[in-house]
Amino acid sequence: MTPPLRAPRYVLLSLLVVGLLACGSEPESDASTDRPDLPSTDGPRFGIADQRVRVRLNEVPIEGAIVTQPGVGTQLITDEAGEVIIPVDFDTPFEVWVTAAHPEARTGGAHLRQPSDALLVLDLRRYHATDNSSYVFDDPGSPTRSSSVQTCSHCHQGMNEDWYGSSHAGSASNPALADLYLGTASYDSQSACEEVGGRWELGPAVGTTDEVAQCYLGPGVAHDLDPSCDEPPCGPSVSQRGGCADCHAPGIDGQLGGRDLLSARGVAFESGVHCDVCHKVASIHLDQPGGVGGALRIHRPLETGPIQEYGDYMPLHFGPRADVVSDRMGAVVRDHFVQGEFCGACHEQRTPPSLPDAELDDGRWPDGTLPLMTTYTEWRDSPGAPEATCQSCHMPADESSLNAADLQSDELGARATGWPRPAGSIRRHTFTGPRSPDAHQLPDVLQADISARLDDDRLIASVTVSNGGSGHAFPTGEALRNAVLRVAARCGDAALPAIGGLAIPDFGGAIAVRDSTEGFDHWPQARVGHSVRVVRDTGDFLDPVGFGPFGDGRFDAPEKGLRAYNVVGTANIVAVEDGSVTFDAPLPDGDLAYLVDEAAWPESGSAATTAAGGPGYAFARVTVGPTGARQVPGHRAVDIASDNRLLPGAAHTSEHTFALDGCAEPQVAAQVTWRPYPVALARQKGWENLEREVASTDWVGLSD
């Protein structure tokens, strides 16, 4: 049952800010600042009446202002004289207002009690054009901390709860980010650190001014990019910062852009990408580097606030609505909040090499930059753009909310105010994606289809993976992401051995790799229970249609860098002595071998295992470092070896061969999982690296 609509108490406060927000400035208008506790529906009913409105900006009539009756949805644009005639519905069950919005001013309006032939003049004032570096970003609050009007959660509890559990909220406090910035690893004791080859030392930490005992191991921006730092710990005097904070901790007070991630403390650290940062974005400039100080043009208010409870400065928030007249918001209308460009300001990273003295191959990368993250342009060039925006999937419609201030809520009492919005027009601030804890995958992003046929004494499985539900490549985002297709065959409960067909490439993960000249019987890293998968180099290169030069015809198959390796066979290690291993069966000959610890069929949510060399395929953008290391963090990248990720609407088909071993009723199945990090890097750093199932098939027999 929908609760009764409450009078929009907060909108009336806007009329008190004389000269800053709009008001009915001529006595002929029937605007009033009086407000009953609830809208009256027992008085006279006037139906729909035309109201002539003039909008002035700094006392000059302004063309192009948006005039609205909130809660009804009528919107008109003022003419050259700044005027419009708007039909006003006086029989709505909530207060009747007319509002005016302009991109250079805070939105304002007037409360109308009855029709009038008098001209209604709404005066708007330009907000100060200078960004205020002394402004302190608002605290978004939390689901358990919402009593203060200075927190966003005070009125927007539903949105705050969604955001609080999102990856945006944890963008600055993510331990993996700190490790990649500082060159640390997520081991919590000296013994655990030293066991994996790390150094346990005191050093600076993100989110605090104190030095913290940490494990130093593996790549880190502060060390890798700064020649003045011989080895970590480095900072806080590091000279190169990699631009990490510009997107991950955009709410650091003061100067915008180029900040040290170590400066992220308090709200900037604990809340990451939060309400007040996003709603201070006045414009988007995608020709600039990603994040604040570049693509995200932040504007913080400079005018002194008339209501001290709201802070030192007069509130100023940019948003998609043209009829929000709360003085606590100081709302200014902007279209970019419903456009993909807003997301592209961080989810698009094309950068020159970051390592000192590193250079790109100008034949491959003639513009001098590497496309390390291209989610926005993948979407922009997709069949669904621009109609199917990023927000339409990652900020799903909230069918239960009447407006952004939880008008439907009985718990919030008088705080749940405003006008109702059209059903489904309120967007949840979950920013749903593969890393979301409760909704880790979007529905129907990938589809996997499989069929089986016989070829003499072999079973051949044909698997097609298609990207029919995503508006960008899959996987997308950070270049460390990858997805693995596994294919399996069985006879009853017994697995059938893979003996041919396409093998999962090296970026599916391996503990170690050896070629045939080194021999396959000595593995210093081996443990009992590990397996060795042998593959054969076919001499060919795969030619997938990827993104950018990997799909637009600029690169031929060899330049796309994806060699075709076929499965030969697998043996399991049953004994290890000084690195020499004993197998449970003779190991077949081949060109390469991978030491792996993969479970045959990982459960969704289990730790990612090494899968290279098994029957299947994998999808990733593979970065390369200056020494040839693959799947390196972006700040170490000097090339992209391959990019075979599935574009929107694209499909990939592969075949995989299994020995029948006399089985009369074999079955095959396939599974695709998404993984946030390369297995080797995650294990070195001690990160949680969970497989997330994206698509799978049922077990299919020959007659299916």
Which residue is it, tokens 């753009």?
385
For residue 339, being part of any structural domain is answered with no
Strand residue runs (E) in 443-557? 446-455, 458-467, 482-491, 494-495, 498-501, 512-515, 531-541
- Pick from 651, 346, 288, 284: nearest CA to 477: 346
Contact 289, 249 (CB under 8 A): no
CA pair distance 350, 373, nearest whole angstrom: 7
CA pair distance 269, 645, nearest whole angstrom: 32
For residue 678, being part of any structural domain is answered with yes
Using only C-alpha atoms, the chain has a radius of gyration, in whole angstroms, of 30
Contact 689, 682 (CB under 8 A): yes
CA pair distance 529, 420, nearest whole angstrom: 61
For residue 113, being part of any structural domain is answered with yes
Cis amide bond preceding 233, omega within 30? yes
CA pair distance 695, 671, nearest whole angstrom: 6
Number of other residues whose CB lies within 10 A of the CB of residue 641: 18
For residue 28, the model assigns a pLDDT of 37
Tokens of 381: 């060039």
For residue 470, being part of any structural domain is answered with yes
| Residue numbers of the domain that contains 107 | 9-124
Q: What is the CATH number of the domain that holds 55?
A: 2.60.40.1120
User: Residues in the chain with pLDDT < 50?
Assistant: 1-41
Which residue is it, tokens 């939105």?
107
Domain boundary among 85, 106, 124: 124
Beta bridge partners of 405: none
Angle at 690 between CA 684 and CA 695, to 5 degrees: 135
CA pair distance 366, 94, nearest whole angstrom: 60
For residue 175, being part of any structural domain is answered with no
Strand residue runs (E) in 250-341? 281-284, 296-298, 317-319, 331-333
Alpha carbon of 655 to those of 155, 450, 451, 464, 647: distances in Å?
55, 10, 10, 9, 20
The secondary structure of 70-90 as a DSSP string is TTT--EEE--TTSEEEEEEET
CA pair distance 166, 244, nearest whole angstrom: 19
Kindly state the helix (H) or strand (E) to which residue 10 belongs, with its residue range.
helix 9-13
Alpha carbon of 512 to those of 49, 137, 197, 481: distances in Å?
78, 48, 17, 20
Kindly state the helix (H) or strand (E) to which residue 626 belongs, with its residue range.
none
DSSP designation for 641? E
318: left (phi over 0), alpha (psi -120 to 50) or beta: beta
For residue 580, being part of any structural domain is answered with yes
Contact 97, 112 (CB under 8 A): yes
Angle at 321 between CA 319 and CA 327, to 5 degrees: 75
- CB-based contacts of 365, cutoff 8 Å, min separation 6: 639
Which residue is it, tokens 């406060």?
13
CA pair distance 229, 356, nearest whole angstrom: 12
Cis amide bond preceding 475, omega within 30? yes
For residue 240, the model assigns a pLDDT of 67
Domain boundary among 124, 157, 180: 124
CA pair distance 148, 144, nearest whole angstrom: 11
For residue 550, being part of any structural domain is answered with yes
- Pick from 289, 278, 274: nearest CA to 160: 274
Domain boundary among 71, 90, 124: 124
Contact 10, 418 (CB under 8 A): yes
For residue 19, the model assigns a pLDDT of 31
**How distant is the alpha carbon of residue 411 from its chain centre?**
31
**Polymer length of the chain:** 704
- Pick from 299, 277, 310, 303: nearest CA to 13: 310
pLDDT digits 0-9 by tens, 324-335: 998 899 999 999
CA pair distance 594, 680, nearest whole angstrom: 13
- Pick from 669, 514, 494, 679: nearest CA to 587: 514
CA pair distance 335, 222, nearest whole angstrom: 37
For residue 513, being part of any structural domain is answered with yes
Strand residue runs (E) in 130-210? 184-185, 199-204
For residue 527, the model assigns a pLDDT of 95
507: left (phi over 0), alpha (psi -120 to 50) or beta: alpha
Count of domains forming the chain: 2
- Pick from 485, 448, 515: nearest CA to 656: 485
Which residue is it, tokens 């944890």?
170
CA pair distance 635, 482, nearest whole angstrom: 18
- CB-based contacts of 210, cutoff 8 Å, min separation 6: none
DSSP H helical ranges for 375-419: 375-380, 390-394
Contact 378, 481 (CB under 8 A): no
Tell me the residue type at 622: V
Number of other residues whose CB lies within 10 A of the CB of residue 360: 18
Tell me the residue type at 586: P
